[in-house]
Structure 1
């Protein structure tokens, strides 16, 4: 009697590097989209405060720094060169201190959907700050998109504030500016170096700058440790922004940019403000108003158009 036929094993299809990069980039954007709702969940509001805003902003960097230090030791990562420590410190000013601190103070005063619309300017702010620091020459179309996006955000903020801007809007704009500055300085560390030395891998950039800040973040976190009762959900929000928003999210995001191509994968970030608003509905119970969605889509459109505008490299230095 012949042996029964065995089904042929069909190998599972493998993702191409470009497809894997796209999915990793999408995962990174999803992680970052939860940052605003989770920060709001951790901090609460002025009426029902939870964790202090300073503790959320600095304490999350302290916890992430301890985890990053353990990861750097386990992987045997080389120590940064002397010239890189200064760049790491400048990057930390934006992504460890400026952005989370101003964002934490702002989301106590406005809901997550409002914050998501204003923070939608972050990609344009990053490009504009990068153009200035790197001496690039954006086209008039780029600056027109940047101006239109800023006008939309200010108009939305004034509409929600009864024809005037609120203090929270200034805090959000400061968060956007500091975040853009930190992103640019961090990207410089990951780019090819002018002296011919190897760039620092992006995962090590975010990890080393968190470790660099531990002498500041740990004492501040202990000094601002909450003394009153705090909901378990607030602690959950704090753990999320500590482990994922500040640290692990960058692993997926940077790896996705590397595999899938920066121009292609970075377009996914256009969805981040909209995802933040959608995720705030089940997490925080916030209503989603059609006008808020319309403003968010308009801001996202200006960001999309700005990325299509030409940006000339800095002029070459003339030989003497």
Structure 2
């Protein structure tokens, strides 16, 4: 959770040096090279063909979709605003997982799920002056694609070691991201700064590889429900980093909404058990 909570502040730093498209392409390329080195060092065999479709969903969701959409959103949204909206991610993941597995959550689960969604929608409308901004639309899209990637990754983590799920998903994206890096770096301006380089290194090695490495390994070890409970701390940690690292001033609604969403998600976790 510490790795994930630093993603948004690191992305903001990375945008000091890179354009949004080149930042996403380069971070994914670097993360894929690291993942490939680990897979080669471990002499890990290729996944079975039946797993490649699921790995493609993970790749599209957590390697490409979520980083790209949140990076685009952070050009106009503050990290504190994004943290509250994306705080709905565990709830979205739980809902998609219920649909994917065919399980029927209790009425309490759905009441809490809808309540959490209402809190986030209300906060978003309040902060955006009564209408959704382009950044908000990016963030809501990021929720959906990341939840799909988490759901499919959690399913695959029961069939292969969890860390290999993200490892192969990253490697699957390497050819596309390498080409994208070359193209976007030639189009978007690059102004290297200390913050920009640190931000890039962290989102590549810390968030995209290491964070997902231990996340999927943890899901395989303790199960998706318990792992989801740990993710409840992510929005509040990101709010702390937004103040400590970026000097943002939090509107009162941000921590209040984050805590309200946390309570709603906690209720869904208890309802599922």
TM-score, length-scaled by structure 2: 0.94
- Gaps in structure 1 of 5+ consecutive residues: 1-28, 45-49, 192-198, 312-320
Shift of residue 98 of structure 1? 1.1
Query: Which structure is higher in helix share?
Result: 2
Which of 113, 117, 141 is the equivalent residue of 2:80?
113
CA contact (8 A) 2:161 2:220 kept: no
Residue number in structure 2 paired with 1:97: 64
CA contact (8 A) 2:219 2:227 kept: yes
Residue number in structure 1 paired with 2:235: 273
Q: Which deviations, in whole Å up to 9, do the C-alpha atoms of 1:59-99 show, x marking residues without a partner?
A: 21111101111111111111111111121112111111111
Is 1:168 equivalent to 2:135 in the alignment? yes
Distance 2:222 2:151 in 1: 20
Distance 1:291 1:184 in 2: 30
Shift of residue 122 of structure 1? 0.3
Which of 21, 45, 48 is the equivalent residue of 1:78?
45
CA contact (8 A) 2:3 2:211 kept: yes
Residue number in structure 2 paired with 1:300: 262
Matches within 5 A, 1:242-281: 242-259=204-221, 263-281=225-243
Q: Give the count of matched residue pairs.
A: 271
- Gaps in structure 2 of 5+ consecutive residues: none
Residue number in structure 2 paired with 1:38: 10
CA contact (8 A) 1:39 1:238 kept: yes
Is 1:232 equivalent to 2:232 in the alignment? no
Distance 1:84 1:284 in 2: 40
Distance 2:228 2:64 in 1: 24
When residues 262 and 89 of structure 1 are mapped into structure 2, their CA distance, relative to the original with a 3 A threshold, is: closer
Shift of residue 250 of structure 1? 2.5
Distance 1:233 1:244 in 2: 15
Per the alignment, in what secondary structure is the counterpart of residue 271 of structure 2? Answer: coil
TM-score, length-scaled by structure 1: 0.80
Is 1:222 equivalent to 2:189 in the alignment? no
Which of 137, 162, 167 is the equivalent residue of 1:207?
167
Distance 1:129 1:214 in 2: 27
Distance 1:249 1:162 in 2: 34
Distance 1:240 1:107 in 2: 16
Per the alignment, in what secondary structure is the counterpart of residue 213 of structure 1? Answer: helix
When residues 108 and 247 of structure 1 are mapped into structure 2, their CA distance, relative to the original with a 3 A threshold, is: same
Residue number in structure 2 paired with 1:155: 122
